[in-house]
Amino acid sequence: MVDSDILLIAMVELIEGVKNLIGDRGANAVLRDAGRHSGPRLLESLIGHLPETYDKEKALTTACSMLEELGFAKKVEKGEGEIVVIEDIFSDAVREEDMSKSPVVYFLVGLIEGFVQFMSDEKAILTPKEVQKGKMVFSYS
């Protein structure tokens, strides 16, 4: 069986390879879209269809809880207009010291947006405000 840490490192290296191939902005857009696509697929495979549709705020709160439960971060909190991610699984695998330059951030953004879209009829748009290893803060609308 393959170790999950090895898979994570391979995924981050793949993401960095996409950045090297198509540039920063292209990689950010592609990885955000990949997260938006994989978020609903992941939740559907884990829980099937939800019995009800949540409003956007409830969907954001639930998405944060699910990210924690699935092990994507030690803590994910929704505050007033922002989401704070503490000790995410990607930070340690990113080689660059400046996390804000890694498209991995946009995969996480897309994953949250995809979770919300799965649970709600509304879309959430996240924007990175503070990005560093071990802590990311996103505003949302």
Residue 116: which of 41, 68, 78, 60 has the closest Cα? Answer: 60
Q: Contact at 8 Å (CB) between 111 and 124?
A: no
Q: Does residue 137 have a pLDDT over 80? A: yes
Higher pLDDT among residues 2 and 115, named by residue: 115
For the stretch 79-107, pLDDT in tens is 999 999 999 998 888 887 788 889 999 99
For the stretch 101-127, pLDDT in tens is 899 999 999 999 999 999 998 999 999
For the stretch 8-17, pLDDT in tens is 889 888 888 8
Domains along the chain?
4-140 (3.30.1380.20)
